Structure formats: structure tokens, C-alpha cells
């Protein structure tokens, strides 16, 4: 049986601020295991598809613009579910 992975994304502002290492350290300290990592630069089409559920919401276009504004780091984690992921302040690379 293949283990299920949870997708975590270190967003463009945190990557640009060079907080990737701090965020990964937080995740590992919380007991999460990184099984896959890939630096990605989302296209408008891919971001729109990923956030399709929000298409009719007023924040959809700004969200797509933000997520396509620079590289992001996609992580495949196990040992957790999305609700257990710590929220990290992208301005400071610290838990909020």
C-alpha cells in the first residue's frame, strides 16, 4: 500500500524572502516527513485549475496573481494531514 502524501506549498513570498529552510525545519521539528520536493513556477492556467473551487470568490484573481508571481516550493509530506500543518508567517519564517 502506498502512503498518502499531503501537499504543502511554500509560497512565492516566503521563497523570495529566503525562509524556505526555516519553514522546512519547522515542519521536520513537528514530526512531518518530506517525501518529495519540487521548485515550481505556476502558470496562470495551472494556478486557475488548482484553485478552481474559488473561481467565483472575490479573491480568486489576486490569489492566482500571487501564486504565479514567483517560484514556490511544493512539498509532499507524510505523517500529517492538511489540518495539522503549522501555519508559518512568510514575512519572518516563524510559526504564527
- Please provide the DSSP assignment of 44-88 as one string: HHHHHHHTGGGTTSTTHHHHHHHHTSS-EEEEEEES--GGGSPPE
Which band of pLDDT confidence, cut at 50, 70 and 90, is reported for residue 88? low
In a domain, 66, yes or no: no
In a domain, 17, yes or no: yes
Calpha distance 96→93 (Å, rounded) = 9
pLDDT digits (tens, 9 = 90+) for 54-67: 999 999 999 999 99
Domain membership of residue 87 as a residue range:
6-43+72-95
In a domain, 89, yes or no: yes
pTM of the shown model: 0.79
In a domain, 59, yes or no: no
In a domain, 38, yes or no: yes
Q: Residue 21 is placed in which grid cell?
A: 529552510
The CA–CA distances, whole Å, from 36 to 5, 44, 47, 64 equal 9, 23, 20, 24
Number of structural domains (the chain) is 1
In a domain, 14, yes or no: yes
Which band of pLDDT confidence, cut at 50, 70 and 90, is reported for residue 91? low
Amino acid at each position: 500500500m502506498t502512503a498518502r502524501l499531503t501537499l504543502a506549498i511554500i509560497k512565492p513570498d516566503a521563497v523570495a524572502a529566503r525562509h524556505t529552510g526555516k519553514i522546512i525545519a519547522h515542519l521536520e521539528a513537528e514530526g512531518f516527513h518530506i517525501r518529495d520536493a519540487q521548485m515550481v513556477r505556476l502558470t496562470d492556467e495551472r494556478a486557475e485549475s488548482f484553485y478552481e473551487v474559488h473561481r467565483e470568490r472575490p479573491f480568486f484573481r489576486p490569489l492566482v496573481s500571487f501564486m504565479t508571481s514567483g517560484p514556490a516550493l511544493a512539498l509532499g509530506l507524510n505523517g500529517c494531514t492538511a489540518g495539522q500543518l503549522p501555519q508559518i508567517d512568510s514575512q519572518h519564517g516563524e510559526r504564527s
